[in-house]
Amino acid sequence: MKISYRDSGVNIDEGNSFIEDIKPDVKATFNNNVLGGIGSFAGAYALPSGFREPVMLGATDGVGTKLRLAIDSRRFDGVGIDLVAMCVNDLICDFGQPAFFLDYYASAKLDRGCATRIIKSIAKGCIEAECALIGGETAEMPGMYNKEDFDLAGFAVGIAEKKDLSRKEAIKGGEFLVALPSSGLHSNGFSLVRKILFEVLKMKFEDPFDGRSLIEILLEPTRIYVKTFKKIKERILGLAHITGGGILENIPRAFPDGIGGIVDKDAIRSYEIFKLLSEHMEESERFRVLNMGVGMVLVVDPSEVDFVLKNTDGYIIGQTKSAIKGIILQ
């Protein structure tokens, strides 16, 4: 008896058809630095001109258990944006300009419709982040995943000026902390969020909440801050992406040694979903797990704060302070 790859659960022909499905969306992300097309063993990207001492930066991330909600609700049009956002938002915190992106999609059995929607979403995120989707991997792995489950990973590469990597050393204390609003929960804390909402409160996906269904609120894609960063990058001293670790653990990553920060928690413009979740969490826990409505925090010299506020949707939530450690909530 002869056994084919398809007999084991892997359909090569379906995978090839899927590649044809996504080609137009992938090509839509290309710019003049992309060399070659789709189908090579590796993606090629020319180093952009204009950098004096270019440094390559890399970031990788996933979407976490937010995927569980996407799978269970069969809503896939935003998780690719989440994937791109989680990577490129990290790159800009080291003053990196996103150049290209790679994705990894693994499932028990390739569902072309589902996979195509996800890659379209990734391409949409790449266009928003102004980076090219130059490659990816689609893995069909029966026995590793259950039924309709899948996982995503993303890899972003960017370029920065070497001198900008040490820009935070200019932070001395007294700079303003400017919050850029999140679009919602973004892509962290969902294991706890799911437990509170669906196990403790017994809520349902379609329950109305703050003018929308609950699942729409939860699956709102992560905001991508690349275009905002490019407008103000010469006017700021540091950035912190508020992901896992929340406000308390991420803001100090943008500071040099010997500098901490004071955050006025009442100044934070939160959303109803955070207010609901906060009823079931200790204060220190919610500011360490959730973004509380803040997706990115900028460190801005007082001389530049007016420019930054006028050219973003940011607002002041605190200041840096010397001789303290970490973030103090007031």
**pLDDT tens column, 151-202:** 999 999 999 999 999 999 999 999 999 999 999 999 999 999 999 999 999 9
Identity at 59, one-letter amino acid code: A
Where in the chain is CATH 3.90.650.10?
Answer: 171-329
Q: CA–CA distance from 312 to each of 167, 189, 226, 317 (Å)?
A: 21, 26, 12, 14
- For residue 88, the model assigns a pLDDT of 98
User: Rounded to the nearest 5°, which phi and psi values hold at 187?
Assistant: -135, 40
Question: Domain 6-167: which topology?
Answer: 60s Ribosomal Protein L30; Chain: A; (3.30.1330)
Rounded Cα distance, 317 and 269, in Å: 9
Rounded Cα distance, 28 and 16, in Å: 19
pLDDT score of 5 more than 70: no
CATH number for the domain whose boundaries are 171-329? 3.90.650.10
Tens digit of each residue's pLDDT (9 = 90 or more) over 104-127: 999 988 888 999 999 999 999 999
Tens digit of each residue's pLDDT (9 = 90 or more) over 64-117: 999 999 999 999 999 999 999 999 999 999 999 999 999 999 998 888 899 999
Where in the chain is CATH 3.30.1330.10?
Answer: 6-167
What is the DSSP code string of 78-114? THHHHHHHHHHHHHHHTT-EEEEEEEEEEESS--HHH
Rounded Cα distance, 84 and 226, in Å: 11
Least confident of 21-25, 62-66, 115-119, 222-226: 21-25
